[in-house]
């Protein structure tokens, strides 16, 4: 009964953790892009799409490791408590999560590659649109805002998608 309460408490706290994680990751991503774009304004958008795909995989692996650690601890806690029902429950739960993660990980890797290609096309169109302005400072300002909101919403969406 205590393991079920711990699981429900952790799952209730998980959306708050994912929101704070997505906010912190989007801020760090925004700062890195801002520094790079300020130093190198003619940065290739292939690098940006590569960073977004790496960011997606990093987010996915972070959630996998947190879940893995949580179920690993609950599994061995139930083993040391020597309750066979809780042991079988944790083992089956852990095994089903582990298998579902690997299936979704390969699918998400393909999805992230497709998303990065689409994102690079979209960003190059936006770059061409913003370069039509005469002011370079206006382009940098709009692109900073665009990259911040895009990285925040992307990380927020992916944290709840996982």
- pLDDT at position 1 is 44
60-116 per-position pLDDT tens digit: 666 666 666 666 665 665 555 555 555 555 566 666 666 656 655 665 556 655 665
Instruction: For residues 110 and 2, give the distance between their C-alpha atoms in angstroms, rounded to a whole number.
Output: 39
Q: Does pTM top 0.75 for this prediction?
A: no
The rounded mean pLDDT for the chain is 56
5-59 per-position pLDDT tens digit: 444 444 444 444 444 555 555 555 555 555 555 555 445 555 555 566 566 666 6
Whether 37 and 43 have beta carbons less than 8 Å apart is answered as yes
Query: Measuring CA to CA, which residue among 100, 59, 92 is closest to residue 75?
Result: 92
């Amino acid at each position: 009964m205590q393991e079920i309460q711990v699981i429900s408490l952790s799952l209730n706290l998980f959306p708050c953790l994912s929101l704070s994680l997505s906010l912190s990751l989007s801020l760090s991503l925004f700062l890195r892009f801002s520094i790079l774009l300020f130093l190198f304004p003619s940065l290739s958008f292939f690098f940006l799409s590569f960073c977004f795909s790496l960011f997606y995989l990093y987010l996915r692996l972070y959630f996998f490791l947190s879940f893995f650690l949580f179920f690993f601890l609950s599994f061995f806690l139930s083993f040391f408590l020597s309750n066979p029902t809780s042991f079988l429950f944790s083992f089956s739960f852990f095994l089903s999560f582990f298998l579902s993660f690997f299936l979704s990980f390969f699918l998400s890797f393909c999805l992230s590659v497709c998303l990065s290609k689409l994102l690079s096309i979209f960003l190059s169109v936006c770059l061409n649109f913003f370069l039509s302005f005469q002011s370079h400072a206006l382009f940098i300002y709009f692109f900073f805002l665009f990259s911040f909101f895009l990285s925040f919403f992307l990380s927020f969406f992916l944290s709840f998608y996982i």
